[in-house]
Structure 1
Amino acid sequence: MELEGVLAELRESFESGRTRSLSWRQSQLRALSDILHKEEEDIFRALKADLGKHKTEAYRDEVGATIKSLNHALENVKRWMAPTKVGVPMVAFPTSAEVVPEPLGVVLIFSSWNIPIGLSLEPLIGAISAGNAVLLKPSELAPASSNFLANNVSKYLDNKAIKVIGGGPDVGEQLLEHKWDKIFFTGSPRVGRIVMTAAAKHLTPVVLELGGKCPAIFDSLSSSRERKMAVERVVGGKWGPCCGQACIAIDYMLVEDKFAPILVDLLKETIRKFFVKPDYISRVVNKQNFERLSNLLKDPSVAASIVHGGSLDSEKLFIEPTILIDPPLDAEIMTEEIFGPLLPIITLKKIEESIQFIRARPKPLVVYAFTNDEKLKRQIIAETSSGTVAFNDAIIQYLLETIPFGGVGQSGFGHYHGKFSFDVFSHSKAVVRRTFLTEFSFRNPPWNERKLQLLRSIYHFDYFQFLLYFLGFK
């Protein structure tokens, strides 16, 4: 079907009203759950083909995490849909008001290649829960996953209201020529700007999930047990999610110079412990990204800072987990998001200097901090800006439906997960109801001093004075 026909069918499905019903929303969410349960092995094969993901990593980051989100939506969508009564001031008496969530219409979702199943279905859950018709455009850089989604979404879900379209940048450009009721984009800032520029022509609202250079502040901590646990979480938060090819992966670390040698030794030990087999870590997605990452290490001043790893295998698209100490701050590895298995460590005289270091750079998606210093924690919260602050762990925030997930500034805007996903694909419509029980003449001309005093009283919540004026005692 031609693109115009696809869009017309989506619009017709939404205008029919069936996507608004609770039963439709629940049935589509259950169908998504069926895909994840019944087609699990096919998902594992697709993610292995696209990214070399081990099935355990694939389940942790994509299948299991999405099932959890689906269960949460199924349990709560009826309540999310319900109108919310709100209070009204005395000046509006006799009036009642409520906020009614309504679907936006036909929405477009662009998903990313690094978590191709999870980052497609997570926003889709929100769009369906909110009652929209949806077109999903997965990334062409994960072709096996894109094909899996196209085949199974059409097989399990309402394929007149929820569609998946494949193709490369040319298809994306064609999609952006059309008017949508919302666009949800996950990807790079460069493409995000293109999406936003195109959306502006139609005044289409946009959510951009972009990422950025996520720092990890690493305090010395007080015990060897805590240090070991923290380093394991760092390694998991750097190389665990798709070999560092994730917007929430740790991009670089900040540590006091006196503690840096201890940290490096602990990192090396943990890397050897975690990645005892080659397939325990994902590969780089494609040749282009492999070359980009390889070029980061070719700068002689950067290569000189490598203290672990650095080996490359262009045939297998594999880059060894690599640690660097104090590469030049003006080198590309420290000015652009790495999105790969390279970990720079920047040393400071005092760990408190990390706050100014972060403040001097674009706002990241996440600031991680490993510390027991409560004063430092308060400073990080108060004096840095990021989508999320996470203390003493990495990545865990992605799994929490009760907090918003999203960036700020250059790391994006708009947020989702849990009810936030429902809200981002809904319009909160204000509904006001007033009766004919009575009318207060003081709110209308002709004006006089008594009406002015009555208005002063009611706007200042001085109901005793209002009553006196109204009854004629003043």
Structure 2
Amino acid sequence: MDLQALASRQQAYFDAGHTRPAAFRRAQLQKLTDALRAHEPALVRALAEDLGKSPSESYLSEVGMIYAEAREMQRHLGKWARPQRVPTPLANFPGKGRIYPEPYGRCLILAPWNYPALLSLQPLVGALAAGNCAVLKPSEYAPHTARVLEDILTQAFAPEYVAVVQGGPEVSQALCQHPFDLIFYTGGGQVGRKVMAAAAQHLTPVILELGGKSPCIVDQTADLALAARRIVWGKFLNAGQTCVAPDYLLVHQDVCQPLLERMRETIAAFYGPEPLQNPDYPKIISPRHFERLTGLLAGCRVLAGGKTDPDACKIAPTLLGDVDMDSPIMQEEIFGPLLPVLPYAGLDEAFAQVRSGPKPLAAYCFTRDRHTQQRFLHTLSFGGGCINDTVMHLASPALPFGGVGESGMGAYHGQASFEAFTHRKGVLKKGLWPDIPLRYPPYTKRKQDMIRKVMK
């Protein structure tokens, strides 16, 4: 594909003003929804081929959330796109201040492989709702899904409005060299740094949705049966290949063994006695990632699971002990179905362990104690999270989703998505009369005194 020609066509389409009217944006979101619905069976099959996801998991964690995001945008974009009047200080009398939300222009969306449909189309919904043109680069590691995404978007849109560009890392690098008006990247921090460096050549703003080691803290007051269900579900969803999955478990020493027992029971109840034989249990995306994960098992004591199947690229849900903060498995984001369990004696110790590393994308705390909940919220810095649950904060369009520090910058979902792809242009409209001479030279002592009073 001629990227320069595509860029010129999209720029011309945007400059012609086609994407500006709210009615047009709503219509395009409906087109996307209709095309997704028409290709939904093919998309579900593709997700099964790429990641081994069951139809239920595919709808719960990908397809259904795309529909919900599109509905949210259609419902509210008229209000969000309207100019907003703001207070005007006395120094600007007579005048009126307004904020005009306007689209950036041409946006590049670089999508990952772990939720290849959701993390391609959910940002795209925000870009279209805000009135932008877009280029989507799906992940080459999920090729079946990438092809269906191209079918969906080719059916719904002309390439001068929305285009899909396929290929490997070299294509992503080439795209980042072009002067887009905004780049939205989801993936790992190492590539995120490269994207940001490339964007800096054109001073292109970036939104980086990265990852990190997301902790889950369980204190001695927690409902252990509930915690076991929600931690096991959140951790082993998509075989642990979720950027906000609990990466390690910090459990008060008094409840560590009872919680482990309940988690073993929950794993068996969710996935059966032989999870590797369960057709609904997802696989690891590639042999390279499989080998990386099995390498992380070395030196850890298996508390549950631990079985692997290299032919099927599957690793059973696994709980690990004999782990400390210096263990190899604690030096990188796991991104797989391995969950280290670390006992702690006091909450200060648990918080100190979390704060010893980079700020995580997510954090979770299971406790009945309100004081502990407040300490968790105000002591730790993280992108977002839950109290007495895991992962589900992503399902609320009213909650912005994004990282902090090394876990990312910028946020999206719901109104935050609209704002992520929108420039807020501040404009002051002044009356022609009266033209108060106070601001003009020469500046006398009397003028200075009056300026101080006006600007108080």
What is the identity, as a one-letter code, of the residue corresponding to 2:362?
V
* Equivalent position to 1:317, from 301, 304, 313: 313
Structure with higher Rg: it is 1
- The answer to whether 1:268 aligns with 2:255 is no
Structure 1 residue aligned with 2:232? 235
Residue 384 of structure 1, CA deviation: 0.9
Distance 2:448 2:197 in 1: 49
- Which position in structure 1 is the counterpart of 2:426? 430
Write the letter of the residue equivalent to 2:251: V
Moved more, 387-396 or 350-359: 350-359
Question: 17-26 vs 406-415, which deviates more?
Answer: 17-26
Give a deviation string over 1:151-209, Cα, whole Å, max 9, x none.
12011223321011111111111111211101000000011011111111111111100
1:306 aligns with 2:329: no
Rounded Cα–Cα distance in structure 1 between residues aligned with 2:328 and 2:191? 19
Is 2:247 the counterpart of 1:247? no
Cα distance in 1 between the residues matched to 2:156 and 2:115 = 21
Alignment match, 2:447: 451
**Greater mean deviation of Cα atoms: 257-266 or 82-91:** 257-266
Structure 2 equivalent of residue 369 of structure 1: 365
Give the 5 Å matches for 1:461-472.
none
Deviation at 1:329, TM superposition (A): 2.4
**For the Cα contact (< 8 Å) 2:36–2:152, is it kept in 1?**
no
Q: In the TM superposition, what is the alpha-carbon distance from 1:19 to its structure 2 partner? A: 1.2
Counterpart of 1:448, as a letter, is: T
2:181 alignment counterpart: 181
Aligned residue in 2 for 1:75: 75
Q: 1:223-277 deviations in whole A, cap 9, x for unaligned? A: xxx321121011111002x111010111001011221111110100000001126
Aligned to 1:212: 212
Match of 1:440 in 2: 436
What is the root-mean-square deviation of aligned Cα atoms in Å? 1.2
Q: Hey, what does 1:380 align to over in structure 2?
A: 376
Q: How many angstroms apart in 1 are the aligned matches of 2:388 and 2:334?
A: 22
* Identity %, equivalent residues: 38
TM-score (norm 1): 0.93
CA displacement at 1:297 relative to structure 2: 1.1
Q: Deviations over 1:81-129 (max 9, x none)?
A: 1000000111111010100011111110001101000000111011101
- Describe the superposition over 1:385-431 as per-residue Cα deviations: whole angstroms up to 9, x where unpaired: 10113100111110111121000001000000111111111111111
3-state DSSP class of the match of 1:238? helix
CA contact (8 A) 2:324 2:342 kept: no
Q: Distance in 2 between matches of 1:322 and 1:351?
A: 25
- TM-score with structure 2 length normalisation? 0.97
Work out whether residues 90 and 458 of structure 1, in 8 Å CA contact, stay in contact via their aligned partners in 2.
yes
Match of 1:470 in 2: none
Following superposition, the deviation at residue 438 of structure 1 comes to: 0.9
Alpha carbons of 1:118 and 1:44: their partners in 2 closer, same or farther (altered >3 Å)?
A: same
Aligned-partner residue type, residue 187 of structure 1: G
- Aligned-partner SS, 2:53: coil
Q: 2:408 aligns with which of 396, 407, 412?
A: 412
- In structure 2, the gaps of 5 or more residues are none
Query: In structure 1, how many angstroms separate the alpha carbons of the residues matched to 2:175 and 2:42?
Result: 28
Q: 1:348 aligns with which of 341, 344, 364?
A: 344
**Please, which of 385, 392, 395 is the counterpart of residue 388 of structure 2?**
392
Q: Deviations over 1:58-87 (max 9, x none)?
A: 000111111111100000111111000000
Deviation at residue 443 of structure 1 after TM alignment: 2.2
Which secondary structure state, in structure 2, belongs to the residue aligned with residue 39 of structure 1? Answer: helix
By how many angstroms is 1:35 displaced? Answer: 2.4
Count of residue correspondences: 452
Q: Supply the AA of the counterpart residue of 2:406.
A: Q
